[in-house]
Amino acid sequence: MKILYAVQGTGNGHITRAIEIIPYLQQKGEVDILVSGIQSDIELPFEVKYRFKGMSFIFGKKGGVDFWRTFVKLNSIKLIKEVKKLDLKPYDLIISDFEPISCWAAIKAKKECIGLSNQVATLHPLAPKPKKNDIIGKLVLQNYAPTTYNYGFHFKRLDGTIFTPIIRKQVRELTPTNEGHYTVYLPSYDDNQILKWLRKMPAINWQVFSKNSKKDIQIKNIRITPINTELFLKSMASAEGVLCNAGFGTASEALFLKKKLMVIPMKKQLEQAYNAQMLQEMGVAVIKKLNNDTIPKIRKWLNDDTIVAVDYPDNTEEIVSLIVANHAGNKKINTNYESDNYTFFQ
């Protein structure tokens, strides 16, 4: 059996999940890997057959997506060429982790494409949604990487298609401690913005990991360190708490490590709003942005010892086996739930 596994390269969560999934797929058949997009700080330790520019959202400096830079980086003609260039005829199974080239190429080739991501889980009818209805954001989320059948990951298991997070082996092998500092990862904020607000809490030892800084910087109680996987995991494992965006990967790992967690959903990123809603219902602290109004909420969180308990078993092999059993060879299966372009197998 020949398998195509396509991964979105924007953000680290997709890549870290792929590192755990690919070895199990390789046990099922010959696997070709496709990666599109930019912004990830982690490289896959596997040979990548296809690398495409794809469609990437560029992080801004004040908590959201920089849509102008995203638009400038988007080359629609090249995108169409990439879709046409991708030949899916050899593949018996196509799996996409929110990767658009493979999805649109599958539509063109009239082949099934199986979604496997956090994004598809946020659209599930059992997943909590914010009260404010973002129609445009939902349309983007639904049509960015359209798939035939979906399996997903959320902070809680919802049904037979939506599983708890895949926690990478590196994190599972960590021994959590508490050295009193707080680990910060807010890639949608400029370092100066983070410094501006965190320095208002001078009694706290902040360890900030930055996509922008090229060297270690210590400013009073705040240490800024360039992104480094080993150092970040060491910091998070020994932290008292974690302050991060409402992306899926870091928040999941912080919960697994039994850390106090506060999240800030990235502006104009609907899946992060959905993630934040789920986390808030679970008891995780959520704020909308860094500003004067939220500093008291951060101080309250710092003084609160509440840790949200989760159970995240290692079920990666089970998930891969389920998908292969149900979809290898593009065979048709019965479904009992349909919503817009998304069909969930149950």
| 25 lies in the same domain as 115 | yes
- Token output for 196: 């501006």
The span from the CA of 50 to the CA of 328, in Å, is 21
Q: Is 311 exposed, middle or buried (0-12, 13-18, 19+ CB in 10 A)?
A: exposed
Number of folded domains that form the chain: 2
| 228 lies in the same domain as 159 | no
**Helix H segments across 56-188?**
67-73, 76-85, 100-109, 118-122, 135-143, 169-172
Query: Which pLDDT score is estimated for 70?
Result: 44
Residue indicated by tokens 């997943």: 127
| 13 lies in the same domain as 142 | yes
In a domain, 309, yes or no: no
- Token output for 125: 């009818």
| 162 lies in the same domain as 224 | no
The span from the CA of 187 to the CA of 95, in Å, is 28
Counting every residue written for the chain, the total comes to: 346
Among candidate residues 333, 177, 332, 192, the one with its CA nearest the CA of residue 258: 177
Low-confidence stretches of the chain (pLDDT < 50) are 58, 63-74, 332-346
> What CATH number is given to the structural domain containing 128?
3.40.50
What are the C-alpha distances in Å from 264 to residues 30, 128, 188, 320?
40, 17, 10, 31
The span from the CA of 228 to the CA of 157, in Å, is 30
R_g of the chain, CA atoms, integer Å = 20
In a domain, 308, yes or no: no
| 143 lies in the same domain as 189 | no
**Which phi-psi region, left, alpha or beta, contains residue 16 (left: φ > 0; alpha: ψ -120 to 50)?**
alpha
Return the amino acid letter for 336: N
Residue-number span of the structural domain to which 211 is assigned: 173-302
The span from the CA of 155 to the CA of 174, in Å, is 20
The span from the CA of 74 to the CA of 181, in Å, is 39
What are the C-alpha distances in Å from 69 to residues 42, 49, 75, 104, 195?
22, 28, 12, 23, 24
| 82 lies in the same domain as 191 | no
| 12 lies in the same domain as 151 | yes
Query: Which pLDDT score is estimated for 124?
Result: 94
> In this structure, are residues 62 and 193 in contact, taking their beta carbons and an 8 Å threshold?
yes
In a domain, 236, yes or no: yes
| 24 lies in the same domain as 41 | yes
Among candidate residues 162, 179, 158, the one with its CA nearest the CA of residue 119: 162
> What CATH number is given to the structural domain containing 282?
3.40.50.2000
Instruction: Please give the biggest Cα pair distance in the chain.
Output: 61
Query: Which pLDDT score is estimated for 40?
Result: 63
Query: Which pLDDT score is estimated for 12?
Result: 83
Query: Which pLDDT score is estimated for 61?
Result: 55
Query: Which pLDDT score is estimated for 335?
Result: 37
In a domain, 307, yes or no: no
| 21 lies in the same domain as 148 | yes
| 73 lies in the same domain as 208 | no
